[in-house]
Amino acid sequence: MPTVLFTHPDCLEHDTGEYHPECADRLKAILQTLEAEEFMTLHYEQAPKATMEQILRAHSLEHVDFIRDNLPVDGQYNHLDPDTVISARSWEAALRAAGATIAAVDAVVEGKCRNAFCAVRPPGHHAEPRGVMGFCLLNNIAIGALHAQAAHGLRRIAVVDIDVHHGNGTQQIFFNNPGLFYASTHQEDAYPGTGFVHETGCADNIVNVPLPAGAGSEPWRRAVSDLILPRVRAFCPELIMLSAGFDAHGSDPLAHMRLTTDDFHWITDQLCILAGEICNNRLVSVLEGGYDLRALSMSCAAHVRALMGF
């Protein structure tokens, strides 16, 4: 099976309340779009729950306890920070989101599939070792990358982050680990206010390419082609992972970049080519942001279409 989609119904049970942009309708819209006939050969797998051992590679026990200790009763909500809301089932959803990423890493590294997409929520790239942030509870992609090192003995894993917001949590977790590489394109001066060019990591393993508000396809593609893909290639990873945020789309309400659906197909295509050249096609993609439902679902469809084409 060339492409596998990992998801779980528990990810819909993370209830953030009325009017919150990171809502269950996001995942529903994606899954409904992927029911189209062109995706009939896409193989689905149920995400397992991440274990505590796997989570604690990226997060402190205090972080985990803080989330679990603040889970509200059914029908109520709790704000862990001004942006991050949890409900009674949020921890279960977070375990499935991280578990999906781990299972996708296992499947790709073990050769059970060529690439994988994790259609999960809550997102993860803002979650820091000791703090929730920006809708994120657990850093799914960092947990997956650290699992690849610990369970499969991989020495070099590269994460490319195309979310319009910088993945401060992933960068913080990767910063002092020379076997982990993180590259991000994001809107400068946007939330969370991190991701500067001078942030380069312990072994020049961090690459940030902030772009101005209003940037569209041409400068973004040029930045990816000239500044990110060559650095990924030079790092020579054994696994490429993608923080697949779709909120740089021109229709997204939470930022001000102007990418199109075609751009998300293009970047997926480029990473698939690169993965084929340097790491035996191993590519794992994990859903991050994207808050206009139509733009999100169409962009995800373009992304999965490109994954299935390789």
Nearest to 105 by CA among 168, 154, 176: 154
- Tens of pLDDT along the chain (310 residues) come to 799 999 999 999 999 999 999 999 999 999 999 999 999 999 999 999 999 999 999 999 999 999 999 999 999 999 999 999 999 999 999 999 999 999 999 999 999 999 999 999 999 999 999 999 999 999 999 999 999 999 999 999 999 999 999 999 999 999 999 999 999 999 999 999 999 999 999 999 999 999 999 999 999 999 999 999 999 999 999 999 999 999 999 999 999 999 999 999 999 999 999 999 999 999 999 999 999 999 999 999 999 999 999 7
What are the backbone angles phi and psi of residue 221, rounded to the nearest 5°?
-65, -35
Handedness of CA 292, 249, 304, 20 (dihedral sign): negative
Burial class for 88, CB neighbours closer than 10 Å (0-12, 13-18, 19+): middle
Q: Domain limits of the chain?
A: 3-308
Residues β-bridged to residue 118: 6, 286
What pLDDT was estimated at residue 167?
A: 98
Which of these is catalytic: 126, 147, 165, 249? 126
* pTM (predicted TM-score): 0.98
What pLDDT was estimated at residue 188?
A: 97
Class of the CATH-defined domain 3-308: alpha beta
Which residue type, as a one-letter code, is found at position 263? D
What pLDDT was estimated at residue 99?
A: 98
Question: Does the active-site annotation cover 43?
Answer: no
Nearest to 161 by CA among 105, 201, 123, 132: 123
Q: Which residues contact 309 (CB under 8 A, 6 or more apart)?
A: 269, 272
211, 220 in Cβ contact below 8 A?
A: yes
What pLDDT was estimated at residue 139?
A: 99
- CA terminus-to-terminus distance, the chain: 11
What pLDDT was estimated at residue 1?
A: 73
CA 75 and chain centroid, separation: 28
CA distances from 177 to 58, 171, 184, 187, 201 (A): 12, 10, 17, 25, 8
In angstroms, rounded to a whole number, what is the distance separating the alpha carbons of residues 269 and 274?
9
Nearest to 202 by CA among 227, 170, 229, 179: 179
Q: Which residues contact 35 (CB under 8 A, 6 or more apart)?
A: none
